[in-house]
Structures are given as C-alpha cells and as structure tokens.
Amino acid sequence: MSRRQRGQVAAEFALVAAFAVAGGAAGLQFLGLAGDSLRVAHAAQEAAYVAGSLPAADRAASLTPCWQVGGGLLDPGGLGEAPVCRSVVENFGVMDPSRAQLTVAPEQGRYHVTVRYAEPVGSPFLRLFFGDTFTTTQDAWSR
C-alpha cells in the first residue's frame, strides 16, 4: 500500500468516525426526548387522578390554583389544589419543572389535565427536524 493510499484511508476513517459519533449523540438525545415524553404522559395521568380524587372541601377553598400562578408548579405551598402540582413535579424525576406548563379544567364532572414540556435540543442534526426546542403535550382526564 502506498503512502497516498494510507492517507486516503485515514481521511475516510476520520470522516466515517465523525459521522458515527454525531449520529450516536443524536440517537442518545432522541432516546432522552422519548423518555421525557413518557414521563410527561405519566405526569398528566397522575395529575388527572389526583385532581379527580381531591375532596370537595379542598376544591371549594378560595385559593388560586397552583397552575395559575407563575412558579406555582415549582412551589405550590399554600396555593389551591397543591397536590395536583406536586404530583406533576414528582413524576418528572430529573426533568426541569420550570420548562413545564400545567392546565387543569373541569369538564362535565371530571378534570381535563394538559401538561406541556419544552426541552431544548442540543444536537444540530435533531434541530433540523425539531427546531431549537422539542415540545411534548399530553392530555389526561380523571374518571
């Protein structure tokens, strides 16, 4: 093998290795986004369950619901229906609750819960498909 051929092989290997690393990083982030979507779906289901399970006395309180206050999801404290917000945050695990939006609306004797989560996309390859942020929205209803 001549010196020129060895140089060509090394250049081709470097090019293939760079694409393999970039593809692997994009694949890992894609799996992370899929996992986040599953956690958001579970958080919405749990929040709907909790909203439907709250005693009427807790709902009748004149406190502003935690999802209607900026930062209420992070610190529901003395806000109304705080268990709903706490259930969402608990089900997020390592996800950042400050990137989430929660809405809860009564509909015909049950509750419609929507959780929206926006995750920044770090992979340049995935940005071609998702843009700068990947937003997942999940709906759930209490029984």
**Cβ-Cβ contacts under 8 Å for 52 (sequence gap 6 or more):** 110, 111, 142, 143
Is the pTM of the predicted complex or chain greater than 0.75?
Answer: yes
DSSP-assigned beta bridge partners for residue 116: 101, 137
- DSSP codes joined into one string, 44-107: HHHHHHHHHHS-HHHHHS-SPBGGGSTTTTT--TTSBTHHHHHHHHHHHTTS-GGGEEEEEEEE
Segment 5-18, tens digit of pLDDT: 778 888 888 989 98
Nearest to 49 by CA among 77, 19, 14, 87: 87
Q: Are 115 and 40 in contact (CB under 8 A)?
A: yes
112 vs 139: CA distance, rounded Å: 7
pLDDT in tens, 109-138: 899 999 999 999 988 888 998 999 999 999
Give the pLDDT band (50/70/90) at residue 61.
Answer: low
Confidence of residue 48 (pLDDT cuts 50, 70, 90): very high
Per-residue confidence band for 60, with pLDDT thresholds at 50, 70 and 90: low
- Give, to the nearest 10 degrees, the angle between helix 82-92 and helix 3-53: 160
Q: Is 54 left (phi over 0), alpha (psi -120 to 50) or beta?
A: beta
- Tens digits of per-residue pLDDT, 70-118? 889 989 888 888 999 999 999 998 999 999 999 999 888 899 999 999 9
For 19, list phi and psi in degrees, rounded to 5.
Answer: -65, -35
